[in-house]
Structure 1
Amino acid sequence: MTLKPIFDAIEKSAHRIRDAITNEDLCYSEQCNATGDMQLKLDIQSDLIIAEEFSKISAIKAIASEEKEEAEILHENGKYMIAYDPLDGSSLIDVNLSVGSIFGIYDGEFQAKKMLASVYVVYGPRLEMVTAYKGSVRHFIFRHGKFMEQETIKLKEKGKLNAPGGTQQHWPKHHKQMVDSLFNEGYRLRYSGGMVPDLHQILLKGGGLFSYPGTTDKPEGKLRKLFEVFPFAFVYETAGGEAIDNKGHRLLELPCDDPHETTPCFFGSKYEISKVKEAYGV
């Protein structure tokens, strides 16, 4: 069974979400999402757009979204489960920075070991899409009315960018030392507060490190396994990089017992991940 109808639905969603970002109200709604964050009206609208497009595909059994409390069954006889963050970094929209959508496509159950593919979309000066599927990471740019493939993305052994997430005052001491050591090696700071644009930049520039540690205020990290962590871990590993937690475990080997479960996470080229393992003693 091909995933093409799912990729097509993601493309359609991307066009509709881009139009909403351009033309719709940026105000906050009266609601909070499942983890207590205030929702922009665009968060809710993006979630509805994606759910509507996926509902048309009988092969999709269930969907789970950052904006939904629990998974939603679409087609009982479906095969695929899709977890998605409809509008990652939405708080950046009012200052006109890039934001994105993230999708993890799972075979039958929401577990990393069951992931078949992942996709993310970047809404920036250009509309872009990256897919990780069947051993390759492919980069597309929307031009002349369609997504046109640009290249296959491969990470270098070592990069130049350092994107450290979380509030520094809450970082563990050994994490700060690791971040500082990379800067002392000449790494450049790149951090927008949006997971999609930061991880996308590291990928397209050939490598580096994106880190979101466990902190004193969020010991289990902030980023959610199903919607954010697993999909990007799949992308980075497929591109020749690595993705681990603070104990040195592959992110794609972690269990997930709740749709909104979080974990500390590190994504990067092999050299940077070796530095993380050294700093964390794993």
Structure 2
Amino acid sequence: MTEIMDRIKNIAIEISSAIKTQDTGKADTCNISGDVQAKLDVISDEIVEKHLSCVSSVAQIISEEKEDALTLNENGKYFVAYDPLDGSSLIDVNLSVGSIFGIYKGDYAGENIVAAAYVVYGPRLELVVARDTVELFRFNEEKKEFEYIKELRLSEKGKILGPGGTQKCWYPYHKKMIDNFFKEGYRLRYSGGMVPDLHQILLKGGGLFAYPAATDKPKGKLRKLFEVFPFAYVFERAGGLAIDGENNILTLGYEHYHDTTSCFLGSNYEIEKVLNTYKGKK
């Protein structure tokens, strides 16, 4: 596991450099989910594969940019699912983007995740690692290394709200719930990038990130293996909760590598509100 995390640090440094120097335009290809790829999506995917291919304990990898899993070492015990460049559509307007990693043992089901990490490429290069605890690291440009900053813990209740999805496609009970949060005084904090939005909730001590099932996305938009399971693990280790509306996200299985799900991640107070809403939905 230590070697995987060390490789993720190297991946972060190399992708950060690519973001600063490489073409930010669109590629002439789409990924398996139908999203038009940025050129940096492809470059970042190649960087991750290059580094993880050198780790003997990694049996298999699967990326949001790959249709199928790639077997690396038959004797390895870890399976790594990753989104090499989450939020890449924000690069051309110079907003923060990130990379997400879920490390699984045996299979990619939510119950098998044993560690997670994500990188924030913003004004500062930051890395968050979740194992027994959730730790924040920041890259020191002078020393050329990541330095430990602090442990991240969520408060019982937060003040910020990141509601994703197309509002006209929300179900009425979901819209009412979001409106009620704003009536309580919650502040809107939503960039359209999963990594920076969830990072903000963690750093600010709490709140709610909500990306529901809706009429245009009946199974949600965000991918279980690469995005939702890793962040669910992070939030649980930080003292928060992660559900699909009714069920704990990490109890969910998958049928296909690119399965999607609705998701709600936050501190306990907000998730309890979601549970009450979705259990009584009509």
Q: TM-score, structure 1 length as denominator?
A: 0.98
Name which of 40, 43, 49 aligns with 1:42: 40
- Alignment match, 1:87: 85
Does 2:139 match 1:142? yes
Following TM superposition, by how much is the alpha carbon of 1:10 offset from its aligned partner in structure 2, in angstroms? 0.5
- For the residues of structure 2 that align with 1:259 and 1:253, how far apart are their CA atoms? 16
User: Which residue of the partner structure matches residue 152 of structure 1?
Assistant: 151
1:129 is aligned to 2:127: yes
1:32 corresponds in structure 2 to 30
Taking only aligned residues, the RMSD between alpha carbons, in angstroms, comes to 0.7
Alignment partner, residue 280 of structure 1: 278
SS at match of 1:235: helix
Q: Match for 1:65 among 46, 63, 66?
A: 63
Aligned residue pairs total 278
Task: Quote the offset at 1:229 in angstroms.
Answer: 0.3
Q: Spell out structure 1 runs of 4+ moving beyond 4 A.
A: none
Aligned partner of residue 99 in structure 2, secondary structure: strand
Matched residue type, 2:14? R
The CA distance in 2 between the partners of 1:113 and 1:216, in whole Å, is: 28
Q: Does 1:210 align with 2:209?
A: yes
Structure 2 distance, partners of 1:268, 1:59, is 32
- Cα distance, 1:131 vs. partner? 0.5
**CA-CA distance at 1:31 after TM superposition:** 0.8
Residue of 7, 30, 35 corresponding to 1:9: 7
Asked whether the equivalents of residues 156 and 206 of structure 2 are also in contact (C-alpha less than 8 Å), the reply is yes
What is aligned with 1:235?
A: 234
Match of 2:109 in 1: 111
**Distance between the aligned counterparts of 1:199 and 1:71, measured in 2?**
27
Q: Deviations over 1:179-217 (max 9, x none)?
A: 111111110000000000000000000000000000100
Check whether the contact 2:25–2:92 (CA below 8 A) recurs between aligned residues.
no
* Aligned counterparts of 2:125 and 2:205: Cα–Cα separation in 1: 20
Does the 8 A contact of 2:133 with 2:237 survive in 1?
yes
Could you tell me how far apart the structure 1 residues matched to 2:194 and 2:31 are?
18
Q: In the TM superposition, what are the counterparts of 1:218-233 in structure 2 within 5 Å?
A: 218-233=217-232
Deviation at 1:110, TM superposition (A): 1.1
User: In the alignment, which residue of structure 2 is the partner of 1:190?
Assistant: 189
Query: Structure 2 regions of 5+ residues with no counterpart?
Result: none
Using the TM superposition, give the Cα deviation of residue 227 of structure 1 relative to its aligned residue in structure 2, in angstroms. 0.2
**Post-superposition offset of 1:279:** 1.4
Q: Distance in 2 between matches of 1:265 and 1:70?
A: 24
What is the SS of the residue equivalent to 2:90? helix
Match of 2:18 among 20, 24, 33: 20
Asked if the contact 2:160–2:201 (Cα under 8 Å) also holds between the matched residues in 1, the reply is yes
Structure 1 unaligned spans of 5+: none
Post-superposition Cα deviations, 1:93-141, rounded to whole Å, max 9, x if no partner, equal: 11110000000000121111111100000000000000100x2000011
Percent identity for Structure 1 against Structure 2: 57
8 A contact 2:163–2:178 mirrored in 1: yes
Q: TM-score, with normalisation over the residues of structure 2?
A: 0.98
Secondary structure at 1:156's aligned position in 2? coil
